[in-house]
Amino acid sequence: MLFVPQQKRCCNVTPLNALIFDVDGTFAETEETHRRTFNEAFRAAGLDWNWDPALYRDLLQTTGGKERILHYIEAYHPPGGDVARDNILAMHADKALRYAAAVANGALKPRPGMVRLVREAHAAGVRLAIATTSTPGSVEAMLKAFFGADANSLFDVIAAGDVVSNKKPAPDVYLYALEKLGLPASACIAFEDSHKGLLAARAAGLTVIVTPSFYLSADDYSTATSVVSDLGEPDAPNRYIAGAHIGHGYVDVAGLRALCAPIRD
HEC secondary structure over 56-119: HHHHCCCCCHHHHHHHHHHHHCCCCHHHHHHHHHHHHHHHHHHHHHHHHCCCCCECCCHHHHHH
Q: Is the dihedral of CA 201, 130, 141, 65 positive or negative?
A: negative
Q: Is the dihedral of CA 38, 166, 178, 260 positive or negative?
A: positive
CB within 8 Å of 17: residues ≥ 6 apart: 126, 127, 181, 183, 187, 188
Burial class (CB in 10 A: 0-12, 13-18, 19+), 162: exposed
Closest Cα to residue 2, out of 191, 220, 216? 220
Helix axes 31-44, 65-76, angle to 10 degrees: 60
- Name the catalytic one among 22, 193, 219, 252: 22
Closest Cα to residue 192, out of 175, 168, 165? 168
Radius of gyration of the chain (CA): 18
150 catalytic, yes or no? no
- Catalytic residue list: 22, 24
